[in-house]
């Protein structure tokens, strides 16, 4: 399985995935789809993407296939972002060589990413002590018993703790991957990648891992119609009561449906959608922040500034300098 880098420019942010024996193919596929594909629709590639393995031949999970032709583990030493191996046999210790590669990457300031059970790899390497992380809910008790010094958050999709990011389950790897693209290249680029994936452009990391989806009663309780309507009217001063009235339910019923179907609250969802629109407007060249705030329903530039700083970690001016027209966005340094 010969490997080509998705980017040949020496200054491109290098994403390296360590693949080890019994690694899960799905998460490897997620990493490849988000970070490894060429992006002709954007006119540029986003990352220099590599796979590496401690062995010349790596048997993937349950012997589905054997991975060959990838770089040796030394490639991890050149990673700006290192995605660590995950696998279903969480009680089996990781190879010392893999753990040492993770420790070296962390020591030199690389960004570390764990998908699903990848949190076990990070914890075994000792880089999660005292840090926030998540893992699949199925392994929460086992994780806590083995790594009590890690601040495990079990009911979220992913955790961004600066230079170490972890995703809960398999599909949450896509959510975290898109979050990283958004953090590195802005909302517009992340939306383009999500459209190519035919995947939700933005699910906040704080949403619940496991969402109950009972068989709906008649009438249909899907939130899709009210969500679509709200997205078309973000410039209006919408409230939770407005959404409830549009859905022809009480505010309490609307809250229950949001929690059951999206794992979040109506207000948190509405704020997230408004901020996503604000980011896109800034990226497209709108420099008047009062106008951005008005068109997104956020009211004032001061409110826009406070929410962007709290949710995104950048002020509108900093966001424009990083992702606005004429800029060449580069990934933020690990931990920023």
Quick one: pLDDT band at residue 3, thresholds 50, 70, 90? Answer: low
Question: Is the pLDDT score of 109 beyond 90?
Answer: yes
Sign of CA pseudo-dihedral 109, 111, 115, 116? positive
Give strand ranges (E) for the chain. Answer: 14-18, 48-53, 57-59, 66-68, 71-72, 81-83, 111-115, 132-133, 151-152, 158-160, 164-167
**For range 130-157, the mean pLDDT:** 92
Give strand ranges (E) for 10-97. Answer: 14-18, 48-53, 57-59, 66-68, 71-72, 81-83
Sign of CA pseudo-dihedral 112, 116, 121, 127? positive
Which of 162, 171, 157, 164 has its CA nearest to residue 119? Answer: 164
Which of 194, 171, 197 has its CA nearest to residue 182? Answer: 194
The Cα-based distances of 267 to 54, 118, 127, 258 in angstroms read: 47, 32, 35, 10
pLDDT digits (tens, 9 = 90+) for 283-327: 899 989 999 999 999 999 999 999 999 888 889 999 998 888 866
Give the bridge partners for 159, in sequence order. Answer: 166
The whole-number pLDDT of residue 9 equals 47
Q: What are the structure tokens assigned to 152, written together? A: 């495990």
For residue 192, the tally of other CB atoms under 10 A from its CB is 17
| 146 contacts 152 by C-beta, under 8 angstroms | no
More confident position, 169 or 311: 311
pLDDT digits (tens, 9 = 90+) for 199-219: 665 555 444 444 444 444 434
Question: Is the pLDDT score of 274 beyond 70?
Answer: yes
Beta strand 151-152 pairing with 132-133: parallel
Sign of CA pseudo-dihedral 108, 111, 116, 119? positive
For residue 66, the tally of other CB atoms under 10 A from its CB is 10
SS3 (DSSP) at 285: coil
pTM exceeding 0.85: no
DSSP string, 219-270: SP--SHHHHHHHHHTTTS---HHHHHHHHTS-HHHHHHHHHHHTSS-HHHHH
Q: What are the structure tokens assigned to 327, written together? A: 């800029």
Terminal-residue alpha carbon distance, the chain: 36
Average pLDDT, the chain: 85
The whole-number pLDDT of residue 8 equals 47
pLDDT digits (tens, 9 = 90+) for 6-60: 444 457 899 999 999 888 899 999 999 999 998 888 888 899 999 999 999 988 8
């Amino acid at each position: 399985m010969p490997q080509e880098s998705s980017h040949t420019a020496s200054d491109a942010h290098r994403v390296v995935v360590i693949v080890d024996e019994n690694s899960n193919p799905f998460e490897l596929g997620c990493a490849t789809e988000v970070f490894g594909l060429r992006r002709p629709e954007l006119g540029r590639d986003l990352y220099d993407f590599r796979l590496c393995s401690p062995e010349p031949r790596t048997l993937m999970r349950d012997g589905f296939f054997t991975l060959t032709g990838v770089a040796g583990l030394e490639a991890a030493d050149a990673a700006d972002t290192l995605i660590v191996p995950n696998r279903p046999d969480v009680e089996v210790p990781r190879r010392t060589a893999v753990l040492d590669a993770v420790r070296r990457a962390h020591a030199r300031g690389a960004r570390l990413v764990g998908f699903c059970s990848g949190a076990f790899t990070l914890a075994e390497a000792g880089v999660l002590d005292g840090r926030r992380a998540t893992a699949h809910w199925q392994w929460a008790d086992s994780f806590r018993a083995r790594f009590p010094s890690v601040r495990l958050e079990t009911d979220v999709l992913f955790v961004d703790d600066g230079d170490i990011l972890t995703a809960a389950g398999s599909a949450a790897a896509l959510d975290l991957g898109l979050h990283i693209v958004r953090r590195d290249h802005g909302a517009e680029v992340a939306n383009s990648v999500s459209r190519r994936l035919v995947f939700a452009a933005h699910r906040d990391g704080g949403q619940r891992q496991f969402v109950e989806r009972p068989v709906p009663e008649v009438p249909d309780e899907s939130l899709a119609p009210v969500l679509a309507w709200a997205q078309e009217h973000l410039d209006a001063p919408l409230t939770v009561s407005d959404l409830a009235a549009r859905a022809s339910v009480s505010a309490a019923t609307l809250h229950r449906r949001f929690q059951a179907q999206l794992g979040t609250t109506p207000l948190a969802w509405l704020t997230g959608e408004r901020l996503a629109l604000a980011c896109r407007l800034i990226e497209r060249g709108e420099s008047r922040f009062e106008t951005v705030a008005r068109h997104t329903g956020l009211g004032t530039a001061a409110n826009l500034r406070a929410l962007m700083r709290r949710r995104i970690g950048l002020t509108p001016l900093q966001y424009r300098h990083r992702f606005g027209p004429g800029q060449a966005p580069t990934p933020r340094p690990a931990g920023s």
